[in-house]
Amino acid sequence: MFDSPQRNHPSLIVERLFSVVGALLILLFSRVGDAEIYTGRVFTAAYWRELLALLLQGRVQVLFSGAGVLLLLLVFVFFGVRTWKKTFFHVADGVLLVEKKTLMKKQSSLPVEHIATVNLESNFFEQLIGTSKVKLDLNSFATASATDFTFVLKKTHAEQFKAYILGLKQEHSGAQGAQPVQAQSELEPVIAFSFSKVIRHAALSITLTQIILAVIVFLLPFVSVFFEEQQGQDSLLPFILFSIVIVFGKGLLSALRYARFSLQKDERRIYLDYGLLRKRSYSFTRDRINAVTVKQPFFARLFGLYYVEAAVLGLGNENNETSVLSLLVNKSELQSVLDACAPGFLCAAAVHRSPRAALVPLFLKAAFFAAVGGIALWLAFGFSPLLFGLWLVFCLGMAYLSFRTKSACYDEKVIHFSSGILNKKMVMLQYADVQKLEILQNRMFARLRLGRLRFHVLASLLSSTHITGYVAASHLEACAEKIGI
Amino acid sequence: MEYQRLSKKALGVLAVTAALQALFSAGLLFALFALAKRFLWQGLSLWPAGLFVAVAALLYCALLPPFRHMRYRYHLGEDRVEIIEGAVFISRTIVPIDRIYQIQVSRGPIDSLFGVAKVVITTGGGTATFRFLELAKADALGEQLNAVVRKKIQAGGGQSHV
């Protein structure tokens, strides 16, 4: 079926042009005073000759008349349909061929073995009309922050295409012989989240920054009332509503994004499905995981809950995607998820805290921020030793807490490092997945026998770089030796 | 481990680069002072500010290039490459040979003026660059890297770890 040239589903035209056509339609309907659309004069040649004459006189504003907008709309729709009609894809001899025969001719050929991940996604519109996007990603840093190829097909065809590509990959890789792609019923469930648990994740992932911002917005009118005595009771409502939106808006979007979250696995692959308005279905082999991050937002820490992110090419590419592997779970569930999905990332070695010498650069940084903040406070509120003292104590306190909360552990294959005063985070890396390592030092660090490590792995931009806290110089050398093993 | 250093030619490139950076930064800083005088402190005198910016730029041009030249070292081994660079903040970049999937030798207009080039190695996690190498040395390094990478891939059964 996919060895002959195929087109995308025609609904792709609507999706691609939705925002442009929508904006133009709004503009068109706003021009209700332009009678030429309604009297049919727009369909006469004389009308268009007059329009052209006005344009040649330099009266460009006619383009924003109802007829001008209608013309633009038709042009966009024409080119949208033409692009759809002239774009084909098919698979021949294990190579995916994508051809665009528009004004800018383009032919891409991609051996199936170079496809790293094949994922499905359906937004609200696609769910309504029964289509699905197939998203293909290459194992390439150059295109890590965007999906490499996207095709829109009917839902059943999309699933068939995904199975076809995965089957071809297995055949061509030859690693374990030709094995059929596992049917959904043979998959082993790892963890699934009910709607209440999704709500729990959304609620406990609210950050302190959001809470503080919401409180500031909520308190603003009271401050105004105190100083200006001009705000009436009824003007409080927008501020209250805005505060609620800040706190709960992101949480609601998060709940919709992760509804029906389920994680399954078979012998080689991990399968991730989630989404209500925009359904996403990801699958990738375990060896595509290049880093694992276990996170504990502040409120989740109070309940002993963790969530897991994975640095996988194809997961968390675009701005509206995320690399979450598991929502908030307790410690035993976390261990099950890690055992099932990332057993090679576990480390049983002893934990090393930051060396005491790390206090020096941290306190120096704190002193710098205290000085800058002190100048800002002086300009805003005038000279106040108490205010500056409080700010200095705060900066030094945060520096000490930063020192106390950083740690690392290493064995022959894996390194873990954790950080975070309020929101805790632990990054797990395998040395074999590290593409580049930077050891960061200066003369002061060298004298204190300290340094920091910056690891680069193959993943989208947001999860490709990981930096440790200050570690002892002996550990820097030990890590440098293990890279590449 | 034996590290190689840069030739004297690289000093010229470093000096020109530092001068351009200093010129741009000085211009920006002076513009900020002028804006501050216009909108915040009308009493601010631009002469001391201009003098401060000029002295800072001169010190930058005089001190940074020799420091960077002195610090810059690189090593090409059988299993990895290392680049140590930086003046105040020193960065030591380590790239395992089997992570390299592209090697590129390139030079800009300032590089061409002084007869130097850079070798850019691309991995799945980003790039690492050998800078300020003499042209012949850059070409030789590119070929040497290519040979080492090919040898490693063949020894590993044709498998890349990217």
The answer to whether B148 contacts chain A (CB < 8 Å) is no
ipTM of this complex: 0.75
Interchain proximity B94–A480, CB inside 8 Å: yes
Q: Residue-wise over A299-320: b if at least 16 C-beta within 10 A, else e?
A: bbeeeebbbbbbbbbbbbbeee
Q: What is the pLDDT of residues B79-92, one digit of tens each?
A: 889 999 988 888 99
| Residue A451, helix vs strand vs coil | strand
Average pLDDT of the segment spanning B114-118: 88
Report the gap between the CA of A419 and the closest CA in chain B (Å). Answer: 22
Give the span between the Cα atoms of A359 and A138, in whole angstroms: 43
Using alpha carbons only, give the angle A35, A37, A41 rounded to the nearest 5 degrees.
85
Residues of B in contact with A483 (CB under 8 A): 80, 94, 96
Give the span between the Cα atoms of A259 and A193, in whole angstroms: 8
Residues of B in contact with A457 (CB under 8 A): 124-125
Q: What is the pLDDT of residues B59-78, one digit of tens each?
A: 999 999 998 999 999 998 88
Which of A439, A443, A464 lies nearest to residue B92, judging by beta carbons? A439
Q: Residue-wise over A427-449: b if at least 16 C-beta within 10 A, else e?
A: bbbbbbbbbbbbbbbbeebeebe
**Strands annotated E in A123-187:** 131-138, 149-154
The answer to whether A432 contacts chain B (CB < 8 Å) is yes
Bigger pLDDT: A392 or A234?
A392
Residues of A in contact with B86 (CB under 8 A): 442
Residues of B in contact with A446 (CB under 8 A): 90
The answer to whether B152 contacts chain A (CB < 8 Å) is no
For helices A11-30 and A66-85, angle between their N-to-C axes, nearest 10 degrees:
180
Predicted local distance difference test score (pLDDT) of residue A225 = 55
SS (H, E, C) A357-419: HHHHHHHHHHHHHHHHHHHHHHHHHCCCHHHHHHHHHHHHHHHHHHHHHCEEEECCCEEEEEE
Total length of chain B: 162
Q: What is the pLDDT of residues A34-90, one digit of tens each?
A: 555 555 666 677 777 777 777 777 776 666 666 667 777 788 888 889 989 999 999
Token digits for B61?
């041009």
Substitution target from A379, A435, A439 for chain B, most B beta carbons within 10 A: A435
Report the gap between the CA of A481 and the closest CA in chain B (Å). Answer: 10
- B74-155, what's its fold? PH-domain like (2.30.29)
Residues of B in contact with A438 (CB under 8 A): 91-94
Interchain proximity A440–B90, CB inside 8 Å: yes
Report the gap between the CA of A140 and the closest CA in chain B (Å). Answer: 6
Q: How many CB pairs under 8 A join A and B?
A: 76
* Terminal C-alpha separation, chain A: 43
The answer to whether A460 contacts chain B (CB < 8 Å) is no
Predicted local distance difference test score (pLDDT) of residue A119 = 87
Over chain A, what is the mean pLDDT? 82
Q: How is chain B split into domains, by residue range?
A: 4-70, 74-155
Token digits for B94?
């380590």
Percent of chain A with pLDDT over 90: 30
DSSP B51-119: HHHHHHHHHHHHHHHHHHHHH-EEEE-SSEEEEEE-SSEEEEEEEEGGGEEEEEEE--HHHHHHTEEEE
Chain center to CA of A270: 19
Which of B95, B125, B128 lies nearest to residue A458, judging by beta carbons? B125
**Are the CB atoms for A249 and A192 separated by under 8 Å?**
no
Which of B86, B88, B123 lies nearest to residue A435, judging by beta carbons? B123
Amino acid symbol at B88: V
Predicted local distance difference test score (pLDDT) of residue A411 = 87
Which of A438, A455, A464 lies nearest to residue B92, judging by beta carbons? A438
For helices B9-39 and B46-71, angle between their N-to-C axes, nearest 10 degrees:
150
Predicted local distance difference test score (pLDDT) of residue A139 = 65
Which of A435, A465, A480 lies nearest to residue B99, judging by beta carbons? A435
Which of A140, A432, A436 lies nearest to residue B126, judging by beta carbons? A436
| Residue A194, helix vs strand vs coil | coil
In this structure, the number of other CB atoms found within 10 A of the CB of residue A421 comes to: 14
- Residue B143 banded pLDDT, cuts 50, 70, 90: confident
Q: What is the pLDDT of residues A322-336, one digit of tens each?
A: 688 999 999 999 999
Chain center to CA of B132: 7
Give the span between the Cα atoms of B66 and B88, in whole angstroms: 12
All structural domains of chain A, each given as residue ranges with its CATH number in brackets, are: 11-85 (no CATH), 87-181 (2.30.29.210), 195-258 (no CATH), 280-354+406-482 (no CATH), 356-403 (no CATH)
Q: Which chain A residue's Cα is nearest to B129?
A: A436
Interchain proximity A432–B89, CB inside 8 Å: no
Q: Which of residues 59-98 of B touch A (CB under 8 A)?
A: 79-80, 86, 88-98
Predicted local distance difference test score (pLDDT) of residue A89 = 92
- Residue A178 banded pLDDT, cuts 50, 70, 90: very low
